[in-house]
Amino acid sequence: MGAGSYRSAFFRLFPWALTTVASGMALWQAGLQHMTALLVSSSGLLLFLLVRRAALLRLALAGLVTFTPFYLLAVKLQFAAWPNYLSYWNAGGLWGTLVLGIPRGEIAWAAMFGAAWPVVIASALDIRECEVERGRVYAQARAAE
C-alpha cells in the first residue's frame, strides 16, 4: 500500500472519528450516561458505513462474534487475577449491573467495538473484495488515488 493510500485512508477516517467523538461528547453533555453516548455515537458511525456498503455487514457480524467472547474472557481473567479490579466500575445502573460477573457496559462496548472496528478499517482502506481461499483471507484494496 503506497503513501497515497495511507493518506486517503486518513482523510476518510478523520471526519468519521471527529464526528463520532463530537456526537458522543454532545450526547454526554446533553445528559446521557457516558457509555450510552459512546454506544449511540458508535452505532451511528457503524450504521452510516453499512448503509454506504451493505456488503460489509458480514464483516461486522464476524467481528461481533469473534471479538466479543475473547474480550469478555480477557476481562474475566483480569477479574480473577486482580479481585479488586471490578471495584473500578460504577456498580448498579444500566451499565454497571453485572451479567455473568461482567459489567453490562463492558459487554455492550465489546459487542459494538467488535462489530464496528473491522467495518471502519475496511471502509477507511477502501477494501472492496474479500474472499476466503484455502483458509487464508485475501483482501484487495482499490489502487491509490
Model confidence over 50-92: pLDDT tens digits?
A: 999 998 999 999 999 999 999 999 999 999 999 898 888 888 7
C-alpha cell at 44: 451511528
3-state secondary structure of 42: helix
Q: Give the per-residue pLDDT at 42.
A: 96
Judge whether residue 142 has pLDDT over 60.
no
In the chain, the amino acid numbered 129 is E
- Mean of pLDDT over the chain: 86
Cα of 21 vs its chain's centroid, Å? 13
Q: What is the mean pLDDT of residues 85-102?
A: 86
Q: How much is the pLDDT for 135? A: 43
Q: CA 109 to CA 39: how far, in whole Å?
A: 7
Confidence of residue 145 (pLDDT cuts 50, 70, 90): very low
Which residue is listed with cell 458508535? 42
In the 8-state DSSP scheme, what is residue 137?
Answer: E
DSSP state for residue 92 in the 8-state scheme? B
Q: What is the mean pLDDT of residues 128-143?
A: 50
Burial 33-53 (b: 16+ CB within 10 A, else e): bebbbbbbbbebbbeebbeee
